[in-house]
Amino acid sequence: MPSTSSATAHAERGTRRRLEWREVGLVKDGINRKEWREQQPAWGPFVRHRQRSTPARYPKGRSARDRHHLAVLAQLAAAALICLDPGHGTIPSVGTQREPIGPGSHVLKIKDGGGAPGEAPVALAIAFKTRALLRARGYRVAMTRTRDGFAGGNIARAQFCNERHAALMLRIHADGSSNQSAHGFQTFYPALHRGWTDDIYAASLRAARDVQRAAVRATGAKDLGLVPRADLTGFNWANVPAILVETGYMTNPPESALLKTAAYQEKVARGLAAGVSEFVRP
């Protein structure tokens, strides 16, 4: 168990890291940073100062054990949040609606084409397994959807993760191809686009490298590498680092069969969790 001082220092580091992301993200939202800060409740994101000054505010005579418990609580409150976004599973009537691919864009794209055959349940199963592993490592985890019947688009998915100030938006998919022999694991990251992704580009690329490497190691899948994507609505609206893993091809019979097994889903999840922990500490 960590000592009180190292637990507090750890919590402060985590908070500081996320503060940096939040402050960068606000530029895209067009919100005046100072106004926004004033709107935050006292227990909100700017707990940095509270944490730093808390030890002095402890009533005299509080036991070492109480102080330790408070430090552990502070650490839990500051744990990095990973936002898991299992692809597809959208209500068809919503999926066919269109939305701008980036803030201010006139280019519209449908919210959800449904994905490759069998992809949505595979993505969801991997997300649940990843959530369990991340929680065991000390992360907080939010999921954009936990069942079928998602009623939003990719803007909504990004905003869900933005609002939670995620340390990473990890989008989980499986691919499809007219070439049945195509197989392997690849990771997309946002292409650099000023005003849309410049604030998240470098960290997203770093996350993509970490997660791709760890996932290939954990699964033994063919390494298809990293691909920058300018056309993904969920990236262009993200104010937090974002990547999308294509965990394999649903159109490749052997890989599709693997992806449908709990054992292989667990391997993928272990790779994703390992990659996340390379990218950001809990």
Residues that bind Zn ion (CB under 5 A): 87, 115, 173
Q: Which is nearer to Zn ion, 115 or 275 (CB)?
A: 115
For the bound state, the minimum distance from the C-beta of residue 122 to Zn ion, rounded and expressed in Å, comes to 10
Within the chain, residue ranges assigned H as helices are 4-29, 33-39, 48-57, 64-78, 92-95, 119-136, 154-163, 201-219, 233-236, 253-259, 262-279
Q: Cα–Cα distances in Å, from 37 out to 33, 124, 251?
A: 6, 35, 48
Q: Which is nearer to Zn ion, 173 or 267 (CB)?
A: 173
For the bound state, the minimum distance from the C-beta of residue 267 to Zn ion, rounded and expressed in Å, comes to 19
Alpha-carbon distance of 259 to 149, in angstroms, equals 22
Q: How many CB atoms lie within 10 A of CB 56?
A: 6
For the bound state, the minimum distance from the C-beta of residue 87 to Zn ion, rounded and expressed in Å, comes to 4
Provide the angle, in degrees to the nearest 10, between the axes of the packed helices 262-279 and 119-136.
50
For the bound state, the minimum distance from the C-beta of residue 189 to Zn ion, rounded and expressed in Å, comes to 16
Q: Whose CA is closest to 80, among 235, 273, 215?
A: 273
Closest residue to Zn ion, based on beta-carbon distance: 173
Q: Which is nearer to Zn ion, 87 or 190 (CB)?
A: 87
Terminal Cα distance for the chain, rounded:
15
Q: Which is nearer to Zn ion, 115 or 248 (CB)?
A: 115
For the bound state, the minimum distance from the C-beta of residue 115 to Zn ion, rounded and expressed in Å, comes to 4
Q: Which is nearer to Zn ion, 103 or 113 (CB)?
A: 113
